[in-house]
Structure 1
Amino acid sequence: MDLSGTLHLPLLLLLLLLLRVSLLVSPVIAKTDQPDVSALNVMYSSITNPSQLTGWTASGGDPCGDQWKGISCHGSSVTQIDLSGLGLNGQLGYQLSSLTSLTKFDVSKNNFKGDIPYQLPPNVVDLNLQRNQFTGGVPYSISQMSDLKYLNLANNQLSGQLTDMFSKIPKLSSLDLSFNRFSGNLPQTFKYLTSLKTLYLQNNQFSGTINVLGNLPLNDLNLENNRFTGYIPQKLNNVDSIELGGNPWSTGTAPAGMEKASSSNLGSGGSSSGFSSKVNGVAIALIVIAVLALVVLLLSLIKKNKSSSSSHYLDGRSHYMDDQLSNNRSFTPLVANDKKVIDMKPLQSSSSFGIGMITPMAMDPRRSSTDASVSEFAVKYHSKRSTEPITATSYPLSDLQLATASFNSSRLVGQGTIGRVFKAKFEDGRLLAVKKIDTINFARGSSYEFMEIIADMTKLHHPNVLQLVGYCLEPGYHLLVYEFQRNGSLHDYLHLSDDYSKPLTWDTRVRIALGTARALEYLHEVCSPSIMHKNIKSSNILLDSELNPHLSDCGMAVFYEDTSENLGAGYGAPECVYSMKSDVYSFGVVMLELLTGRKPYDKSRPVEEQLLAKWAIPHLHDIDGLSEMADPSLRGLYPPKSVSRFADVIALCVQTEPEFRPTMSEVVQSLVKCVQRSSISKRLGGDLSTSRRSDDSDW
């Protein structure tokens, strides 16, 4: 009897059963869609205190399978993010638009700052960002969210005028912009919000009429405490709950279809328009009387003290000028023919003064004593350094305040040990970066120290050194003005980027390392006397539009006496006494970042891998180990020989003993060998086989 057929049948049935079970189980164990993972990784890296986000990581992971805190999924797609009330700080990242399946995004009741990201989840239905510290305006990308029903941006620091962005979101049912700083008229595209039931605009600075709201199907409307004028559309009488108090509504006979504001529609917090008008009239009259009285008083004081006060100020200055300018025979006295005339031309043209330091504002007798002391310091400083004038532009504080929106947090682009950096937008279209140095850094010195630093920094000229273009010295303000680099810092590119945005190619990484090495070579070996940097890290390497590196904070080592405080964890050399070889060590750590894509210190990794240099050094001469160390975002697209030479340079730079580390000119020569001529030499230009030291001898 043949039993083979009998034996095969049960086996076949078992295989079919296993196949069916695997098909049923596979959707459960499917990993999260990669674009969703990348977006959450970037968001996690942008949050400064992510300890509450259990399960989250800065790279990789499976949000759906591992049940990350606040994440809900359908299949392998992230559909909801609810992180409300976790006390999170920082920002939201720049990759949220990759979350194409997300329908609910709630990060309310946290401490997020800066502008609301332009790239928001495109298909979100419920967007809740209320009770944070967002600044700037409403991003125009919201106009493309055709499924949006609930938008809550209340209790932030948003400002500006709403643009006409509401024509393509007809499903919007609830809009809350209350308790912000919005101003201007309501956009006419509000009329397209044909599903809008709830509108909260209270406690802003909106102005103009509210006619555009007349035909909306509102059930709940709050416009309290704004600057709305005109009449209230009669159709708003049908609104179930309406609050209109705290606005200067029009009085008198209302046009057809309009009505005056009355006690019935001003709400509990309002008052009748007639009473408001009377109060406003009394207030205006009192203000006018007070102003007139003040003017009369000031005129009498000016007349009384005109001679004495001006003479005292100018006499005090003239004594000082006599001391400083006794040998300047062309100097014209400030007081001429008893007319108290201030002649600025001799001051501006005198060789005893630096360029642009004596201005009418500096010599204005109406300035305060504090202002006068700063101006006097400027005169003394430039008299002292008459042969070394400062060529950088002296910017008025008012100009920089205007360009940075009064140093608003929405313009903040970086923060370091000694101060913060703001993006400055000028009316003529120029973009500059303003570094606002914390005043405490001058507690041990004076404004002389600041001007000495400026004078030295203006002598630095190298294509890979960030150029100082200006400064500002006014009471309480020590500001440096630099060229603005549009691609931010190397740190941002390496650690706040991901596989799907702008990964740096291997050729670009080598080019960045070589350019930075040339900058350090210039500081160490070309400048006389030599300059230590003391703050080499990836956040101080800025990238221009072509990803060329520019080393910032050059010439500011005076602020970094204690290097253990200013250098981030993982960058500092092991020795106690700082030297130029310590700069070499820090540069080696930056090269490790370029090679591995890892941070110098990452507490989210296993203990043995948290310090990048300690983990990497044993593997730098291991060919197999190098392939595992290389940044995964490179996807293996690099020449092994170039990587091996790159690792050899790193190993030399991060040696424990300073005396065994190479000079920066030796580092430059070694890095040149890593360059792939076919892809880099054309972009760098010139002969890469030699140092550029001879090109930068104008120190």
Structure 2
Amino acid sequence: MARILSWLLPSFLLSSLLCAALAKTDQPDVSALNVMYRSMNSPSQLSGWQSSGGDPCGQSWQGIECSGSSVTEINLSGLGLSGSMGYQLSSLTSVTHFDMSKNNLQGDIPYQLPPNLNYLNLAGNAFTGGVPYSISQMTDLEYLNLAQNQLSGQLSDMFGKLQKLSELDLSVNRISGNLPQSFGSLSSLKTLHLENNQFTGSINVLTKLSLEELDVQNNQFSGWIPNKLKKVKELKTGGNPWSSKNAPPGNTTEGNVRENGSGPSGAVIAVIVIALLVTAMVVLVLVKRRISSSSKYVDGKFHYSDDQLSQNRSFTPLVSHDLKGEPNPVESASIDLKSLQLPSSIALKHSLPESPKSFNENEFANGINVKRSTEPLVVRNYSFTDLQAATGSFNSSRLLGEGSIGRVYKAKYADGKILAVKKIDSTELFGSLSKDFMEVVSLHHPNIAELVGYCVEPGQQLLVYEFQRNGSLYDFLHLSDEYSRPLTWDTRVRIALGTARAVEFLHEVCSPSTIHKNIKSANILLDAELNPHLSDCGLAAFYQDTSENLGPGYNAPECTKRTAYTLKSDVYSFGVVMLELLTGRKPYDSSKPRPEQILVRWAAPQLHDIDALAQMADPGLRGLYPPKSLSRFADVIALCVRPEPEFRPLMSEVVQALVQCTQRTRMSNRIGRTLSSASRRSDRSDDSDYHYY
């Protein structure tokens, strides 16, 4: 027997080494398929698949085709698969054919899809959310089928680069809004299915295409069917409220009906134009009065009161995930707006200003001469001599920090009072602080750093704030020493919520809205009770916007030039701060391995993976957090740091989601206290040297 074992053991080891040597699948592909398998709840019907390791190409995993060492095709259609598709699909760079149709997959379609597809079929599942914008970069895509899901919202103008797309099927969803103008760029499109959605407006943009098959049945399209489209071989247009009036000449755009070829005279046209202008002015006055009394203007949109809603509209809130990483069906259900109790923060929004001038988001939020939604604060006018004496002539030993437009010093007075003085460097200014200076920076909110004074003298411009004894969140998280005490999970959520309320105030309460443009952990100050106070509010109009303002890791992808900053750019930066709270890591850390240096790039793909999330959590937490709250917190982050600004949430939505995180934490704490009351006394002695805030 010993002789047999002595012969079998070397043979087994040789066989194992030989298999390892013959393994031919690229490691990024293996890792992506492992994550995909786990995300689909490790289905037993997939022969050969593994949750870790393996050789998909060498071991012939079901539905996998390879070329050399790279996975090129994934075909898992009609296998009854559930769960989601994972977060690492973008690693599958050689995959050109991806078919997951006719399964039970749910949640949002991942933004991280194989980037070089020419065939994508996700039809017949239960996907929600919108069409991922990453599809806009798939320039080789020829076939796209997202039919028979539960997709909603409007289509982004994302089809301009899809020159090779020949078949597009978005039928049987809940997609709404007008057709995007980039549809007109689909020069190779032959087959288009849009039936059974909620599309509105005209279909004139489709006249630019050479379609052979078009189905737009059962939508809310209006106007006329263009003559060119009537020549499409297979055309289905029923179930839409098409105009019953005579079509305009050419029948390609909507216009006034003309009964014959002769048009009205110039005099008649002039009379009609004048009549229309007068009517428009009367309507404008009436509408303006109605809006000013019953609507709010938030983030570039009108929000009407409940009695103005003619239809039973609904919205889908931020979706949390259970411990398996699946969407919670109760929390992801649609909510009737008429029965919804809106938070008090939304009720504080002010009415539309009297001026009828139209602004885009940047113009609306960047104005210097603005009226705030609160009364101006009573602040003290300090002399430069006074501040110079209190800071020891701005001695470096009093330096608290350095920002985009100046340094902050500690000011000490004889009566024991301590203040923080921002000495502004006039060479960094984009504008002048002298005009309406106090109106711009005077903001009052419990979570905004309180301005208590200022100094404007020739060559000197300074702001005086309350001093916060615990410094900045950045210092607390990243510059701690062996004597520091880590923040508890409850405190981290509370800091995130307080900061979110401050940003919500700027975006949705101030009139007009204010973009902060400098949201980072260094600008979140902590008082004695570790309550957050957002600083540098109202200063964005005074300095040039560059990528250096925030520092590496905070800037949203669109922030490459001054005019690119929007309210949603602030949301992205806030999401990075939340990542700092979750992981304890810096937004950019050159000491980390290259794939982990930029926090968002490393963390974002893992935010919906429960196992990965637990590994990402700050080790200083020692695992002391409610898993549900951690998962919900990660869900909010994932939405805030989305690459496309239009898909990021409003700050009021973020606040609501974080309130739920707080509630989950408190509930878990109550349960924990009840269960551990008998053993707490014995445990206390073990932790006597490890205190938490």
TM-score, normalised to structure 2's length?
0.43
Q: Structure with the greater relative contact order (CA < 8 A, sep ≥ 6): 1 or 2?
A: 2
